[in-house]
Amino acid sequence: MLKNKGHSSKKDNLAVNAVALQDHILRDLQLRNLSVADHSKTQKLGLIGPPPPQLSSDEWEKVKQRSLLQGDSVQPCPICKEEFELRPQVLLSCSHVFHRVSPPLTPVQACLQAFEKFTNKKTCPLCRKNQYQTRVIHDGARLFRIKCVTRIQAYWRGYVVRKWYRNLRETVPPTDAKLRKKFFEKKFTEISHRILCSYNTNIEELFAEIDRCLAINRSVLQQFEEKYGHEMTEEEWEKIQVQALRRETHECSICLAPLSPAGGQRVGAGQRSRETALLSCSHVFHHACLLALEEFSVGDRPPFHACPLCRSCYQKKILES
């Protein structure tokens, strides 16, 4: 402690002696009119010039504008070569800009302070100007925010445009023949896949429904065979013929020509007799007309021909004329 106090007192005495010696030189050598701002004379006499006057607000504004024109806040810090980002900056009176606070990956000491400590003098690292003045600014943070916003907007616009173009390619078919073919093949595949995904099939229920339908069809066919499958006897045909005579049908309902009565009928010269067909439903037609109608009925196969009048399945018998 005593050693430190003695060292500091020696420095104070040295400073006082230097000031007293300078004042003595000015008084004794009658250099009262000597301007200390004249560096050539003061350096010859070994005198120390006064510091430059403090810059006004207008002068600082001009320095700041000159720095913006040079783009110092946009460029990295000249000392550490790191971006300013959101950290504050130091603006020198020579319009150069440096970090006020060091970046996270650099030593704790600020860039400008570290440079002054390394050079052991207060000079600008770029222009070597002495006795500069400093001011804290935040232009780098403002420009960095604008840069980030611009980049985010550019990425978002790019994403929107890519999404729009992707949707356009998926909805509008191209003009090229090969690309158009691939486009419609892809669409057909997507539609088929959606149909398969939306169709929920229960195999057990499907097979049960098929078995039920087959059982119903078998029962219907069995009933039909029981009703129309056996050959009708002569007695049944006689009853049906009696019922047809009661109807008193004198013409064919298909061609509207007269029917040949059972038991024979004489026809004139140049005429052909037509065979008469009696159906099991007691309706009577010309046999030729009935055959033509059966051929015309697409899908009907014996014994599933239907009567043209009552639409019931029939068996037929040719009446003797």
Segment 287-302, tens digit of pLDDT: 888 888 888 776 555 6
Taking CA atoms, 56 is separated from 50, 62, 122, in Å, by 18, 10, 21
More confident position, 256 or 48: 256
Q: Residue for token digits 């030189």?
A: 25
pLDDT-derived band of residue 36, with 50, 70 and 90 as boundaries? Answer: very low
pLDDT-derived band of residue 263, with 50, 70 and 90 as boundaries? Answer: very low
Average pLDDT, the chain: 76
Q: Residue for token digits 């899908």?
A: 299
Least confident of 85-94, 183-192, 265-274, 282-291: 265-274
Per-state percent for the chain, helix, strand, coil, to nearest 5: 50, 10, 40
Whole-angstrom distance, CA of residue 307 vs CA of residue 316: 10
* Rounded average pLDDT over 120-136: 82
pLDDT confidence of residue 15:
63
pLDDT confidence of residue 11:
54
**pTM passes above 0.75:** no
269 pLDDT exceeds 50? no
211 pLDDT exceeds 50? yes
pLDDT-derived band of residue 159, with 50, 70 and 90 as boundaries? Answer: very high
157 pLDDT exceeds 90? yes
pLDDT-derived band of residue 271, with 50, 70 and 90 as boundaries? Answer: very low
3-state secondary structure of 272: coil
- For 6, the enclosing helix (H) or strand (E) is helix 2-28
**Residue 73 dihedral angles phi and psi, to the nearest 5°:** -75, -20
Whole-angstrom distance, CA of residue 150 vs CA of residue 74: 14
Percent of the chain with pLDDT over 70: 72
Least confident of 121-125, 153-157, 238-242, 265-269: 265-269
197 pLDDT exceeds 70? yes
Number of other residues whose CB lies within 10 A of the CB of residue 128: 10
Angle (CA) 128-130-131 rounded to 5° is: 145
Whole-angstrom distance, CA of residue 262 vs CA of residue 30: 173
**The two structure tokens encoding residue 158:** 């790019």
Taking CA atoms, 251 is separated from 152, 255, 289, in Å, by 95, 8, 12
**The two structure tokens encoding residue 163:** 């999404």
pLDDT-derived band of residue 273, with 50, 70 and 90 as boundaries? Answer: low
Whole-angstrom distance, CA of residue 65 vs CA of residue 87: 20
Whole-angstrom distance, CA of residue 142 vs CA of residue 290: 101
- β pairing state of 276-279 and 97-99: unpaired
Whole-angstrom distance, CA of residue 280 vs CA of residue 291: 16
Whole-angstrom distance, CA of residue 64 vs CA of residue 143: 14
155 pLDDT exceeds 90? yes
